[in-house]
Structure formats: structure tokens, C-alpha cells
């Protein structure tokens, strides 16, 4: 895959960007969508440099980057979007230092815009149980749906990981699955007895009826043995959430968030949760500690005699 930064008269920047994207693709193994996002951010930065009459990367110092972030704010970009742009530039300039093209990273000393902590939507254990008990245990499609939702929560999967699971990826006897995550990073995640039994029931009793003698390598099949789409799973989850008594908006990622939060509340260590979620950086996982702390604080205030 080749990501191009479109700028006809700035081949010096194009060359640096191409080398950087090759580094991210082959050395870091980042996913295509992530690379495209970086490409868009660097294109915007390049346009700004052109407007400023900057012709070499060494001229793009800290004041220039600060001016760029100020310009993004004037254009109406929110703090979270500006933080993403800065993260892209930090990574780009870090690579240039690594390659000895620059001596220092001019973006490193710039603080991220304050975005506020966005806590994920989390379901309680009781709400999870309500949701998981809704799918009918007799209809083949409902058995499939229930197994998918159960496994999504049991292993903390992303929807893209769930729908692309293959028969060869699951070991029901040992209670674990092999997951291909972002950037083609593979991880092994344990699943509990509830998920194992539900997936086993689906594979033995419902999947053959859905396949109708069609061969498929995927565990969860839709029409003609093809894997379910992300949109298809979102529709079925929305259907079950509307049938429930849960007064929260439930998204596919809500179950992944709940998986991580419930593990931490139960005493799991952060590093183990990081490995199961497939996060490259533990800082990404740490947001869940805030969710767990918030929950514990609420319990303390409610039940402690001097809370």
C-alpha cells in the first residue's frame, strides 16, 4: 500500500513522507486506515507549510507547529481533533530524528490540547446478563446472535475481529481464541465457560442449518457462508438492545469497554488487560482504570457510613 501526500512542488516532503509511511507499514505494521488518517493529517500540515513559504523540514520548528495548531483551532477543529494532528506530527518528527534527518523533535515539547477524559460507555454486570439472555435459544439466527454477543463480551473483541474469526481460530476444549487484531498483530485470548458452551451449541446445532451444505471457513456466517458485516452485527445488536430494559445506548464497542472495566474492577492487572485487548500502548488501556475508579468511588459514597 502506498500513501501519497499530494503536493506537486514539494518533492522534498513527499520523499520524507513516503519513507515514513513505509516505516509505519513494514516496521510497525500499522493498519491501512491508520496510515490513511496519518496521510490526511500530514497533507494538511504540508499545505500550511506551503502557505508559510517553508521549503525545508528543518524550518518546521516548534513555533511553526504551534502556529499550525492555532490555525486548526481558528478553522473550528475541536481539541480532540487537534490532539490527533499533534500526535501525527510527533510520530513523524520522531521518525526524522531516528533517521538522523533532524537532531530534535520540535513537536515533542508541545502539550496536547486538553480534551477532557471521555469515559467509554460501560454496562453493568446485571445489564450484560439482561442483554445476553434476550436472543431466542431455538432459532438458528438467534443462537448465532447470542453466541456472537457472548463472545464479544467474553474476549473483549472489536467487531472487525469477531466477524472475521475462523473455525481454525477457536479452541473450545482449551477455551481460547486466536485473534488477528489491528496491524495484523495476533493475540491469544481466553474465553469463559459461558462463551465456550454458547459457541459450541451454535457450531453444532445452528451453523449447519445456516450454511445449508455450503462450506465456509468463518465461524459466524450470514448468507451464502459469508461472514457477517459490521453493519449487520450493529443492526442485530441494536435490535436486542431495543428489546431490553436497559436505559443506555448500546454500541458494539460497549461490550469491549465493559469487558475491560469489569476485569479491572475484579482485580485484574492492567498489563494483562492490555494484552487481552491487543493495545500496543498501555496508555490506551489506562482509560479503563478511570472508569473502574469512578465506579468504586460511587460504591464508596453510597455504602460507606461516612462516604
DSSP per residue, 117-166:
--PPP---HHHHHHHHT-S-SSSHHHHHHHHHHHHHHHHT--HHHHHT-B
Mean pLDDT value across residues 86-92 = 90
81 contacts: CB under 8 Å, gap ≥ 6: 72
**What distance in Å separates the CA atoms of residue 11 and residue 9, rounded to the nearest whole number?**
6
**What distance in Å separates the CA atoms of residue 263 and residue 281, rounded to the nearest whole number?**
18
What are the grid coordinates assigned to 194, written together? 459461558
Structure confidence at residue 105 (pLDDT): 92
**Catalytic site includes residue 256:** yes
pTM, rounded to two decimals: 0.61
185 contacts: CB under 8 Å, gap ≥ 6: 29, 278, 280
Mean pLDDT value across residues 7-13 = 54
What are the grid coordinates assigned to 189, written together? 485470548
| Every domain of the chain and the residues it spans | 11-98, 125-303
Which of 213, 248, 219, 215 has the alpha carbon at shortest distance from 233?
A: 219
Query: In angstroms, what CA-CA distances link 87 with 113, 295, 302?
Result: 11, 30, 39
**Catalytic site includes residue 290:** no
Q: Which of 82, 198, 256, 257 is catalytic?
A: 256
Which of 126, 122, 142 has the alpha carbon at shortest distance from 237?
A: 142
Would you place residue 4 in the very low, low, confident or very high pLDDT band (cuts 50, 70, 90)? Answer: very low
At 90-115, the pLDDT tens digits run 999 999 999 999 999 999 888 877 76
155 contacts: CB under 8 Å, gap ≥ 6: 177, 179, 189, 190, 191, 195, 259, 276
**What distance in Å separates the CA atoms of residue 286 and residue 81, rounded to the nearest whole number?**
20
Contact 295, 265 (CB under 8 A): yes
Would you place residue 135 in the very low, low, confident or very high pLDDT band (cuts 50, 70, 90)? Answer: very high
Q: Which of 73, 178, 182, 185 is catalytic?
A: 182
Contact 273, 263 (CB under 8 A): yes
**Catalytic site includes residue 85:** no
Which of 61, 36, 50, 64 has the alpha carbon at shortest distance from 7?
A: 50
At 15-45, the pLDDT tens digits run 888 888 888 877 777 777 778 888 899 989 9
Mean pLDDT value across residues 276-280 = 81
Structure confidence at residue 115 (pLDDT): 61
CATH number for the segment(s) 125-303: 1.10.443.10
Would you place residue 296 in the very low, low, confident or very high pLDDT band (cuts 50, 70, 90)? Answer: low
**Catalytic site includes residue 182:** yes
Q: Which of 38, 202, 240, 288 is catalytic?
A: 288
Which of 167, 180, 145 has the alpha carbon at shortest distance from 252?
A: 145
Mean pLDDT value across residues 118-141 = 86
Would you place residue 144 in the very low, low, confident or very high pLDDT band (cuts 50, 70, 90)? Answer: very high
Averaged confidence pLDDT in the chain? 84
Query: In angstroms, what CA-CA distances link 73 with 38, 64, 66, 69, 285?
Result: 19, 14, 11, 6, 28
Whether 174 has a pLDDT exceeding 70, the answer reads yes
Structure confidence at residue 267 (pLDDT): 81
**CB crowding 112-124: b at 16 or more within 10 Å, else e:** ebeeeeeebebbe
**Catalytic site includes residue 38:** no
Which position has the higher pLDDT, 91 or 269? 91
CA atoms in the 13 A half-sphere facing the CB of 3: 25
**Catalytic site includes residue 253:** yes
Mean pLDDT value across residues 266-292 = 74
Q: Which of 85, 257, 262, 279 is catalytic?
A: 279
Q: Which of 158, 196, 257, 262 is catalytic?
A: 158
Mean pLDDT value across residues 50-65 = 88
186 contacts: CB under 8 Å, gap ≥ 6: 178, 179, 180
Contact 171, 182 (CB under 8 A): no
Q: Which of 78, 239, 248, 253 is catalytic?
A: 253
Whole-number percent of the chain with pLDDT over 90: 40
Amino acid at each position: 500500500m502506498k500513501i501519497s501526500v499530494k503536493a506537486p512542488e514539494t518533492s522534498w516532503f513527499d520523499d520524507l513522507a513516503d519513507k515514513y509511511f513505509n516505516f509505519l507499514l513494514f516496521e510497525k505494521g500499522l493498519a491501512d486506515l491508520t496510515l490513511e488518517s496519518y496521510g490526511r493529517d500530514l497533507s494538511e500540515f504540508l499545505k500550511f507549510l506551503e502557505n508559510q513559504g517553508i521549503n525545508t523540514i528543518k524550518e518546521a520548528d516548534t513555533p511553526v507547529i504551534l502556529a499550525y495548531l492555532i490555525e486548526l483551532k481558528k478553522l473550528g477543529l475541536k481539541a480532540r481533533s487537534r490532539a490527533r494532528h499533534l500526535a501525527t506530527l510527533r510520530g513523524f518528527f520522531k521518525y526524522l530524528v531516528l533517521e538522523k534527518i533532524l537532531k530534535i523533535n520540535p513537536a515533542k515539547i508541545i502539550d496536547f490540547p486538553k480534551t477532557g477524559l471521555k469515559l467509554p460507555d460501560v454496562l453493568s454486570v446485571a445489564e450484560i446478563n439482561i442483554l445476553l439472555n434476550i436472543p431466542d435459544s431455538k432459532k438458528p439466527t438467534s443462537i448465532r446472535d447470542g453466541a456472537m454477543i457472548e463472545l464479544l463480551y467474553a474476549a473483549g473483541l472489536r467487531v472487525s475481529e469477531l466477524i472475521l474469526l475462523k473455525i481454525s481460530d477457536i479452541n473450545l476444549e482449551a477455551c481460547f481464541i486466536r485473534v488477528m487484531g489491528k496491524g495484523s498483530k495476533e493475540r491469544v485470548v481466553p474465553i469463559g465457560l459461558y462463551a465456550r458452551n454458547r459457541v459450541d451449541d451454535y457450531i453444532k446445532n445452528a451453523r449447519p442449518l445456516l450454511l445449508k451444505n455450503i462450506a465456509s471457513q468463518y465461524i459466524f456466517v450470514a448468507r451464502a457462508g459469508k461472514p457477517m458485516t459490521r453493519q449487520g452485527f450493529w443492526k442485530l445488536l441494536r435490535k436486542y438492545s431495543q428489546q431490553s430494559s436497559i436505559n443506555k445506548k448500546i454500541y458494539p464497542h460497549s461490550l469491549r469497554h465493559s469487558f475491560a472495566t469489569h476485569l479491572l474492577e475484579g482485580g485484574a492487572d492492567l498489563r494483562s488487560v492490555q494484552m487481552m485487548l491487543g493495545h500496543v500502548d498501555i496508555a490506551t488501556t489506562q482509560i479503563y482504570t478511570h472508569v473502574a475508579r469512578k465506579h468504586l468511588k460511587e460504591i464508596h459514597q453510597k455504602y460507606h457510613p461516612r462516604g
